[in-house]
Amino acid sequence: MKLSLLAEANALVKGLVAQGKYQNEEDGVVDGIPLLMGRENLRNEIHVAIKQLDRGESCDEETVFAEVDTVIDEIDASQQSKKIMLRLRYSEWSKEDLKEIARTIAKDKPIAARKWAAKLSEKC
């Protein structure tokens, strides 16, 4: 497919290539496609939402804020578990405890021990 870009867009893409952000103009243009797809998805979601509102399908603000608070709480809990894992990662006594747990698991279930160690190293 051949494209003709507006002068401003063409200059932008060429500038990004000159800065080394893309190897060529095609890569720069191709990188923008997901943004266009996202915009179209957002437009579709807005269209669906408008139709829902027209049909009287809506939530009161208390319900919306309660749902948002739930999502925030889930994010906070996730962040808290990451902080705990970081503390475990950087404290020497915890490393030794974890090694001992891994050794214990490895005696009875070596495959499970490897999986557990892999998951733990991903999180840490």
pLDDT digits (tens, 9 = 90+) for 56-92: 887 777 877 888 888 888 877 777 766 666 665 555 5
Residue 124 pLDDT > 60, yes or no?
no
Examine residue 117 and state whether it is found in any structural domain, yes or no: no
17: nearest Cα among 4, 3, 2, 28: 28
Does residue 4 lie within any of the structural domains?
A: yes
Half-sphere exposure of 53 (CA within 13 A, CB side): 7
* The model scores a pTM over 0.85: no
Within a domain: residue 54?
Answer: yes
Whether 10 maps to a domain, the answer reads: yes
Q: Give the type of residue at 120.
A: L
Question: Domain for residue 73, yes or no?
Answer: no
Q: Which domain holds residue 31?
A: 1-58
d(CA 45, CA 53): 12
Q: Which span out of 74-78, 90-94, 97-101, 118-122 was modeled with the highest average pLDDT?
A: 74-78
The total of structural domains in the chain comes to 1
Domain-embedded: residue 31: yes
Lowest pLDDT segment from 33-37, 92-96, 102-106: 92-96
Listed in sequence order, the residues at least 6 apart from 66 whose beta carbon sits closer than 8 Å to its beta carbon are none
Spatial distance between the Cα atoms of 26 and 48, rounded to a whole number of angstroms: 34
Is there a domain that residue 92 lies in? no
Q: What are the tokens at 32? A: 């923008």
Q: Is residue 96 part of a domain?
A: no
